[in-house]
Amino acid sequence: MLDKAGDAVNWQSVDNAHHLHPFTDHKALHEGRVRVITEGDGVFLKDSDGNRILDGMAGLWCVNAGYSRPELVQAAAAQMTKLPYYNTFFKTTNPPAAALAQRLAKLAPEGINHVFFACSGSEAVDTALRTARVYWQTLGKPEKKFVIGREYGYHGSTTLGASAGGMVDMHRQAGDMPNFVQVMPPYWYGYGGQMSPAEFGIYAAKQVEDKIKELGADNVAAFIGEPLQGSGGVIIPPETYWPEINRICKEHDILLIADEVICGFGRTGKMFGSDYFGIKPDMMTVAKGITSGYIPLSAVLMHDRVANVLINQTGEYYHGFTYSGHPVACAVALKNLDIIEGEGLVERSVVMGEVLRQKFHEVFDDHPLVGDVRGIGLIGGIELSADKRTRRFFEKNGRVGQMCRDFCINNGLIMRAVRDTMVFAPPLIISHEEIDLMVALAKKSFDQTYEKVK
**Does the footprint of ligand PLP cover residue 349 (CB under 6 A)?**
no
* Torsion angle of the four alpha carbons 387, 389, 391, 395, in this order, in degrees rounded to the nearest 10: -10
Which residues ranging from 273 to 292 are in contact with ligand PLP (CB under 6 A)? Answer: 287
**Does the footprint of ligand PLP cover residue 118 (CB under 6 A)?**
no
**Does the footprint of ligand PLP cover residue 258 (CB under 6 A)?**
no
Selected range binding ligand PLP among 12-20, 79-87, 256-264, 353-361, rule: CB under 6 A: 256-264
**Does the footprint of ligand PLP cover residue 209 (CB under 6 A)?**
no
- 437, 54 Cβ separation under 8 angstroms: yes
Rounded to an integer, what distance in angstroms lies between the CA atom of residue 440 and that of residue 411? 10
**Does the footprint of ligand PLP cover residue 262 (CB under 6 A)?**
yes
Query: CB 263 → ligand PLP: shortest distance, Å?
Result: 8
**Does the footprint of ligand PLP cover residue 293 (CB under 6 A)?**
no
β-strand 421-424 against 416-418: which pairing, if any?
antiparallel
Rounded to an integer, what distance in angstroms lies between the CA atom of residue 224 and that of residue 211? 13
SS3 state at 256:
strand
Rounded to an integer, what distance in angstroms lies between the CA atom of residue 371 and that of residue 86? 52
Query: CB 119 → ligand PLP: shortest distance, Å?
Result: 8
Out of 156, 232, 380, 401, the only residue in the binding site for ligand PLP (CB under 6 A) is 156
Closer CB to ligand PLP, residue 122 or residue 336?
A: 122
3-state helix, strand, coil in the chain (%, to 5): 45, 15, 40
Which residues ranging from 59 to 88 are in contact with ligand PLP (CB under 6 A)? Answer: 60
Query: CB 75 → ligand PLP: shortest distance, Å?
Result: 20
Rounded to an integer, what distance in angstroms lies between the CA atom of residue 305 and that of residue 308? 6
Out of 185, 230, 289, 427, the only residue in the binding site for ligand PLP (CB under 6 A) is 230
Residue type, 319: H
431 Cβ partners below 8 Å, 6+ apart?
Answer: 43
**Does the footprint of ligand PLP cover residue 94 (CB under 6 A)?**
no
Angle between helices 197-215 and 241-251 (to 10 degrees): 20
**Does the footprint of ligand PLP cover residue 226 (CB under 6 A)?**
yes
Selected range binding ligand PLP among 151-159, 336-344, 428-436, 443-451, rule: CB under 6 A: 151-159
Query: CB 54 → ligand PLP: shortest distance, Å?
Result: 21
Which residue of this chain has its Cβ atom nearest to ligand PLP in the complex?
Answer: 121
Burial degree of 304 (CB within 10 A; 0-12, 13-18, 19+): middle
Tell me which residues touch ligand PLP (CB under 6 A). 60, 120-122, 125, 154-156, 226, 230-231, 259, 261-262, 287
